[in-house]
Amino acid sequence: MFSIWFENAINFKNMDKVSFKKWRKKNGFSQQEAASVLGLKRRMIQYYEKGKKGDKDIQIPKYIELACEGLDLKNKIAKLINAKGDSK
């Protein structure tokens, strides 16, 4: 188990602008809703999706990426709990 985690950690790549936008759309968030759940302003969501802030390239910070992963995990757990409740 640890070796799988470690291998994934080594091969882990930062979330890029395309992946971020896919994450937002997959979760059905508008830019404003994504900003709200991530504790950001809508303008930051726009910067991340563009990959630029003015002329300057901008990367998605690790803590935002981790927050996205956390929200995905929360949604998966909720679906599992709901599926178990429906099968009773």
Taking the domains of the chain in order of start, what are their residue ranges?
Answer: 2-86
Nearest-angstrom CA–CA distance, 37 and 35 = 6
Give just the sign of the alpha carbon dihedral 35, 38, 20, 62.
Answer: positive
> Angle at Cα 64 formed by Cα 14 and Cα 33, nearest 5°?
125
| Alpha-helix runs per DSSP H in the chain | 2-10, 17-26, 31-38, 42-50, 62-86
Give the whole-number percent of the chain exceeding pLDDT 90. Answer: 70
**Do residues 58 and 48 lie in contact, with contact meaning Cβ atoms separated by under 8 Å?**
yes
Task: Render pLDDT for 41-80 as a digit per residue (tens, 0 to 9).
Answer: 999 999 999 999 999 999 999 999 999 999 999 989 998 9
The answer to whether the pTM exceeds 0.85 is no
- Does the domain at 2-86 match CATH 1.20.58.340? Answer given as no
How confident is residue 7, by pLDDT bands cut at 50, 70 and 90? low
